[in-house]
A and B are shown apart, each in its own frame.
Chain A
Amino acid sequence: GAVVSQHPSRVICKSGTSVKIECRSLDFQATTMFWYRQFPKQSLMLMATSNEGSKATYEQGVEKDKFLINHASLTLSTLTVTSAHPEDSSFYICSAESGGVPSYEQYFGPGTRLTVT
């Protein structure tokens, strides 16, 4: 149980284009999903918290107009990197929150490797 998928797993795009990454909870409903960014050999950097049916909450320093998040259903959240630039190249990972009794746990997707040329 608690499986999270991400699509695509890898994407290469040209500078100036937009890229959409999907995050799905396959066997549970997730009111809350999270988007992380990870640079090589570094920790997880939380970008934003996505709540179904409401606006995402962005961490300090993350441009909300550049990283558009939509959480339209209890099983799907999307991250759109708009007008991508080479510095946006990174490993993006989503997670979905499950549980609640006794505690919530985050289950992670397999990640999306974005390369902007």
Chain B
Amino acid sequence: GQQLNQSPQSMFIQEGEDVSMNCTSSSIFNTWLWYKQDPGEGPVLLIALYKAGELTSNGRLTAQFGITRKDSFLNISASIPSDVGIYFCAGVAGKSTFGDGTTLTVKP
């Protein structure tokens, strides 16, 4: 079946630093989705990407749909403590396939 490789698995950064995470696959997807899960909550959809090469921003978050349609990245600029959480990517091709998540810790 389809699998996603999400990296890094975890990140420990200082407040104010920029963050970058990505998802790659050997499969082609029609849509890439990025979610954030706060502790004890369900994941919340942050950004949806529908076209290869598409670059979309949501505040300090920027995500891109890779040209090959096999990858996507998420950048967070000028991190703040409330950015802490688990970030999941999901590739959609009929059904959704989720990455294993990137756990982000931000030190004040």
Q: Which residues of A contact B (CB under 8 A)?
A: 2, 4, 6, 41, 43-44, 46, 91, 93, 95, 102-111, 113
Contact = CB atoms under 8 A, between A and B. Distances in A.
Contacts of A41: 103
Given A43-B101, A103-B48, 10 more contacts: A4-B42, A44-B43, A91-B40, A102-B30, A103-B92, A104-B31, A107-B45, A108-B42, A108-B45, A111-B42
Given A41-B103, A43-B98, A43-B100, A105 B44 contact: no
Which of the four size classes fits the interface of chain B?
20 to 34
B92 A111 contact: no
Binding site secondary structure of chain B: strand
Given A43-B98, A108-B42, A110-B42, A103 B31 contact: yes
A110 B41 contact: yes
Contact of B42 (A2, A6, A103, A105): A6
Given A43-B100, A105-B31, A111 B48 contact: no
Shortest beta-carbon contacts, A-B, top 10: A108-B42, A103-B31, A43-B100, A111-B42, A108-B43, A110-B42, A93-B42, A43-B101, A102-B50, A109-B42
Given A44-B88, A44-B98, A108 B48 contact: no
Contacts of A93: 42-43
Interface string B64-108: 000000000000000000000000101010001011110100000
A41 to B, nearest CB: 7
Nearest to A34: B96
